[in-house]
Structure 1
Amino acid sequence: MNIFIDGWKLKAILETSYNYLDKNKEIVNALNVFPVPDGDTGTNMSLTMRSAINNVEKVIENDASKVIQAASQGSLMGARGNSGVILSQLFRGFSIGVNDKKEIDAQTIALAMKKASETAYKAVMKPTEGTILTIARECGEYAMEICESVNDINELIELVIVHGNKVLEKTPDMLPVLKQANVVDAGGKGLLMLMEGALEFLLGDVTTIVEKSMSSPTVQNISLKRQRIDTDDIKFGYCTEFIIVTNHQDIDGFRDKLSFYGDSLLVVGADGIIKVHIHTNNPGEVLEKALQLGELRDIKIDNMRYQHEEILLKDELRKIEVDRGEPEKKYYVISVSTGEGLNELFKSLNVDYIITGGQTMNPSIEDILRAIEKSNAKNIIILPNNSNILLAAEQAKNVSNRNVYIVPSKNIAQGISAMVAFDPDKELNENINNMNSAISKVISAQVTYSVRDTQLNGKIIKKGNIIGVTDKDILVVGEDINEVSEKLIEKLINDDISVLTIIYGEDVDKNRAEDLIKRLETKFDELEIDLVEGNQPIYYYIFSLE
């Protein structure tokens, strides 16, 4: 029986929950509605949870409120995909419900679950029932119903899990696309797995206790990669990092104050914290400025000259060096992309910065924030190019305190069309309108392969089949890449289409792509066809029809 949970026990519960989900994430991934190789709900939730754990491990007080607040902050910065962002909002709401309690009981947990659901719903512009949101709401409401008569936390969580699984089984009736694919909601399943991991710890099942390994990836917490250099090149000798616990809202003003003391400056704020990274010769003066705003935590100072090293924030924390000699740019465009050819194409269309990612590799909120902070521009435009990255982009925008504008491109084809419509000489409103108009007009589709047997919209699909898909449906199923592609274009073409862009991936050679063009030219002699080497993974072809 557990009547109270303190900070130490809560840390262990969270780590065990993460471990349980991580071990079972492929079960969640397999619940993707489309049987394409990008089912990443379980992976995104696991990586988001890993980021939460990384931050929780820094808490040294036996205080449940501080532990859950750390989980909230860590999950926000590391959130990946829509499921990860929603999970971070659930943590945020749970933290609100716990408030400042050092120990939590069943009634507090029930209230926190209800607050978690309410916060997550507010974060989504158009909440959809039959998703993780529904599971969170039902669990929170049910917990509130029973908490007055259930003091044992173990019993409370066990009953909530039973209720949550009953609701999960009904999600196909709430969301027709789940019923067609004969699956339950992946995000809801992932949330219940986190609860199941927590319960098994509370019940003393040692098989699920986290086995910490030095080989386990520390995803999303700041990874500091060092490279030896000549110390004569080091202008500012101390790499200084810390967190300020504060309600101070003027992030830009504080960033400006610190810019006097050094370079490689990163200042971001969220949920009552400000995170700072700076290379400086006066770390003491920087810390004094920070103390004026609030309490300091996680202070880390490296003497780079003494160690003959400079901390380079590359893949996970790219070094921020805004050239103060250059005037502020009017625009800075950030695009999510993967594949050398696609990256070069976006750069040729005036994209300033590429965030590597896309299907199966959704960038986190922190990845997007780093790209935003790297800019020296009045207006920052972000192209997510994936529906599963939109929510993370929006959250990064909310946290950044910069002039950020999201053009809601849901795929690569839309992103390319948006950039074709972009004109750096035009005013912001006109550009945003033109880019939004462009993505609304383009028809996009992809060719990939099925990762499982299923039946969808009357089509029997076997594992390994080649499938032609749009964002909403699987239109063609077959065995040959070019044959499926040809049939897919036939289904999509109409009298208004005059240009077809074919982007071929890393698993298609140019000869095969040119053979497809010949097939299409014989059927559509007035169609202008452009061929682009994209080198993208997963998708043999990406099509853009305009």
Structure 2
Amino acid sequence: MLKEMIISGAHLLEKNKSIVDDLNVFPVPDGDTGTNMSLTMQSAMKEVKAVNNDDIEEIAEAAANGSLMGARGNSGVILSQLLRGFAKGVKGKETLNTEDLANALKLGADTAYKAVMKPVEGTILTVARESAEYAVKIAKKETDIEDFLEKVIYQGENTLKRTPDMLAVLKEAGVVDSGGKGLIYIYLGILGALKGEMLSSEDLDIMQKTVEHDHDMHVSGDIEFAYCTEFIINTEGADPEAFREEIKDQGDSMLVVGNENLIKVHLHTNHPGAVMEKAMALGELSDIKIDNMRVQFKDKHPEKEAEEEKDFGFITVSIGDGIEKIFKDFNVDHVIKGGQTMNPSTEDFMKAIEDIHAKNIYILPNNSNIIMAANQAKELSKKNVMVIPTKTIPQGITAMIGFNPGNSPEENLQEMTEIMEDIETGQVTYAVRDTVVNDKKIKKGNILGIGNGKIQAVGKNAEKVSLELLDSLITEEHEIITLFYGAEVDEKSAEKLQGKIEKAYPDCEVEVYYGGQPLYYYLFSVE
């Protein structure tokens, strides 16, 4: 039943993700909370369906582990922590009553709050916390699980309705919190399964196919450890951290996660047999998968020669062939395609980290909604990974300009972080719905000028909105204005705008580059 509840929760969110996406505070075409949460839940669902027994602890742990690796965006990372805490809460349980569920929900909320540096009320965190606190309050009296969950969800919906009173930006935009709404859909799906309102097996099979993808190897030519080794240890009373310590000298790219009954192992090693011998001392092995990466690499990249480990490597996130080329010109090793509407997962970052043969690796997320996933990958990796908290493409490019190969890793981290904070960023896009933001009435299709997180200009002409936006950003101290034009803008239009900017700001140098980014007509960097 727990399996069915998790799967049903994932499905109902997938079915309604566009509704959650549309609750984005800004009416721009990149509201992606629902998509991020759905992809995170689908990853959890995939792991849950792979569990071949009805052990509650193992099922919950599978959901937690799957969501951890599939977490996308801040909402996805928070959701993965809710599931992680829930899994801790059901440890050792063979069945769950209302008190068990209440305590697990409360531990999930507590875990999620701890994972966020500065928790903000009026978000998914508040919906999770208040519904969990109410669950604990009624659990002893309310022993029927269906009735119990109905009341918990009702409390969650009441909290969701109050989120605009907690966050002014929600109230002004006339929306409730999108992450909280997504959580309610998951809860409703869970309740539906409990009531026997499950989806057909055909529906579930179709959904499962949407999350399956090929495992593409990301390895460099100089492969120290040849065998990509994965397996699950079915055990009792084992300690994943203790086993991780036991095999730490056997290879690299190691992930050992699990609980007392299940340990999932991934590592690159030259002696998979030796590792599995140690594992067999703990229990039976299943889902064994061993790939020779040297053979795979030669098949895919016969021309590539072995490369020496370098001092520094870089990972960045962007979309648009022009912007990608700019980052490549700055010697960025791995550009993950993504950003607005398409937030990379923790696993995407892990694969990119694995791909880079460097002593020190910097990640530039270039989007505030991607920073948490980048930091989660940093914590999981054994390599020396540092995250530069860039929130925009211009900040990412500026941070790369600030890199000095002669500095120490720590000095570069400090310098790159400081220099990117001096950049003013402007974005020009369009509205996807009618709303009111910052006392500005916005109609669907209006052109929006966004500066440093606020809508500064609204109009019907991208050029006029751009000039009004820049007027809100530029001061007498600024010297350089950089314009990146998107996929929907031609070069002549960009050059025409450049001329008007030069005329309006004769003391500033104006540079124009093709970005090729979708959805955003122009990106501006002011320094």
Q: TM-score, normalising length from structure 2?
A: 0.91
1:352 aligned residue (314, 327, 333): 333
Contact preservation (8 Å) 2:109, 2:125: yes
Contact preservation (8 Å) 2:251, 2:269: no
**What is the rounded CA distance, in whole Å, between the counterparts of 2:282 and 2:358 in structure 1?**
27
Match for residue 153 of structure 2? 161
Give deviations 1:314-350, integer Å, cap 9, x for gaps. 9xxxx9x998x64432111111111111111112113
Match for residue 247 of structure 1? 240
**What is the rounded CA distance, in whole Å, between the counterparts of 1:311 and 1:10 in structure 2?**
41
After the TM superposition, which residues 252-271 of structure 1 pair with which residues of structure 2 at under 5 Å, given as runs? 254=247, 256-258=249-251, 266-271=253-258
Indicate the SS of the match to 1:52.
helix
Residue 67 of structure 1 and its aligned partner are, at CA, apart by: 0.4
Match for residue 276 of structure 1? 266
Give deviations 1:429-464, integer Å, cap 9, x for gaps. 221111111111000010001011101111111111
Report whether the alignment pairs 1:24 with 2:13: no
2:174 aligned residue (157, 166, 182): 182
**What is the rounded CA distance, in whole Å, between the counterparts of 1:509 and 1:390 in structure 2?**
32
Residue 310 of structure 1 and its aligned partner are, at CA, apart by: 4.8
**What is the rounded CA distance, in whole Å, between the counterparts of 2:57 and 2:516 in structure 1?**
47
Change (3 A) 1:499 1:208: farther
**What is the rounded CA distance, in whole Å, between the counterparts of 1:332 and 1:374 in structure 2?**
10
1:288 aligned residue (256, 267, 277): 277
Contact preservation (8 Å) 2:241, 2:256: no
Indicate the SS of the match to 1:535.
coil
**What is the rounded CA distance, in whole Å, between the counterparts of 1:115 and 1:298 in structure 2?**
30
Structure 1's unaligned 5+ residue stretches are 1-8, 227-234, 260-265
Change (3 A) 1:386 1:302: closer
**What is the rounded CA distance, in whole Å, between the counterparts of 1:436 and 1:160 in structure 2?**
43
Residue 225 of structure 1 and its aligned partner are, at CA, apart by: 5.9
Indicate the SS of the match to 1:196.
helix
After the TM superposition, which residues 84-483 of structure 1 pair with which residues of structure 2 at under 5 Å, given as runs? 84-206=76-198, 211-214=203-206, 216-219=208-211, 223-224=214-215, 240-244=229-233, 246-248=239-241, 254=247, 256-258=249-251, 266-271=253-258, 273-276=263-266, 284-291=273-280, 296-301=285-290, 310=296, 326-483=307-464
**What is the rounded CA distance, in whole Å, between the counterparts of 1:406 and 1:250 in structure 2?**
28
Indicate the SS of the match to 2:50.
coil
**What is the rounded CA distance, in whole Å, between the counterparts of 1:277 and 1:236 in structure 2?**
9
**What is the rounded CA distance, in whole Å, between the counterparts of 2:282 and 2:464 in structure 1?**
63
2:71 aligned residue (79, 91, 109): 79
Change (3 A) 1:115 1:368: same
Contact preservation (8 Å) 2:250, 2:269: no
Q: Which has the larger displacement, 476-485 or 286-295? A: 286-295
Give deviations 1:162-204, integer Å, cap 9, x for gaps. 1111111111111111111111100011101100111122122
Residue 217 of structure 1 and its aligned partner are, at CA, apart by: 4.0
Indicate the SS of the match to 1:391.
helix
Residue 293 of structure 1 and its aligned partner are, at CA, apart by: 7.0
Structure 2's unaligned 5+ residue stretches are 218-223
Indicate the SS of the match to 2:517.
coil
Contact preservation (8 Å) 1:33, 1:183: yes
Residue 207 of structure 1 and its aligned partner are, at CA, apart by: 5.7
Contact preservation (8 Å) 1:333, 1:352: yes
Q: Which has the larger displacement, 397-406 or 77-86? A: 397-406
**What is the rounded CA distance, in whole Å, between the counterparts of 1:453 and 1:313 in structure 2?**
53
**What is the rounded CA distance, in whole Å, between the counterparts of 1:385 and 1:105 in structure 2?**
44
**What is the rounded CA distance, in whole Å, between the counterparts of 1:292 and 1:357 in structure 2?**
43
**What is the rounded CA distance, in whole Å, between the counterparts of 1:322 and 1:69 in structure 2?**
40
Contact preservation (8 Å) 1:21, 1:42: yes
Residue 78 of structure 1 and its aligned partner are, at CA, apart by: 0.3
Contact preservation (8 Å) 1:72, 1:95: yes
**What is the rounded CA distance, in whole Å, between the counterparts of 1:428 and 1:421 in structure 2?**
13
Change (3 A) 1:177 1:198: same
Q: Which has the larger displacement, 127-136 or 397-406? A: 397-406
Aligned-residue sequence identity (percent) comes to 48
Indicate the SS of the match to 2:93.
coil
Residue 287 of structure 1 and its aligned partner are, at CA, apart by: 2.7
Contact preservation (8 Å) 1:384, 1:410: yes
Root-mean-square deviation (Å)? 2.9
Contact preservation (8 Å) 1:51, 1:218: no
Change (3 A) 1:210 1:122: farther
1:512 aligned residue (482, 493, 512): 493
Report whether the alignment pairs 1:500 with 2:493: no
**What is the rounded CA distance, in whole Å, between the counterparts of 2:226 and 2:384 in structure 1?**
32
State the one-letter code of the partner of 2:479.
S
**What is the rounded CA distance, in whole Å, between the counterparts of 2:98 and 2:202 in structure 1?**
24
Give deviations 1:253-306, integer Å, cap 9, x for gaps. 8465247xxxxxx432345545326597x754553254467763321357999x
Change (3 A) 1:304 1:399: closer
**What is the rounded CA distance, in whole Å, between the counterparts of 2:468 and 2:323 in structure 1?**
24
**What is the rounded CA distance, in whole Å, between the counterparts of 1:322 and 1:495 in structure 2?**
50
State the one-letter code of the partner of 2:5.
I
**What is the rounded CA distance, in whole Å, between the counterparts of 1:51 and 1:500 in structure 2?**
42
Q: Which runs of 4+ in 1 moved over 6 A?
A: 235-239, 302-305, 311-314
Contact preservation (8 Å) 1:224, 1:312: no
Indicate the SS of the match to 2:61.
helix
Match for residue 522 of structure 2? 541
2:62 aligned residue (51, 55, 70): 70
Q: TM-score, normalising length from structure 1?
A: 0.88
Match for residue 220 of structure 2? none
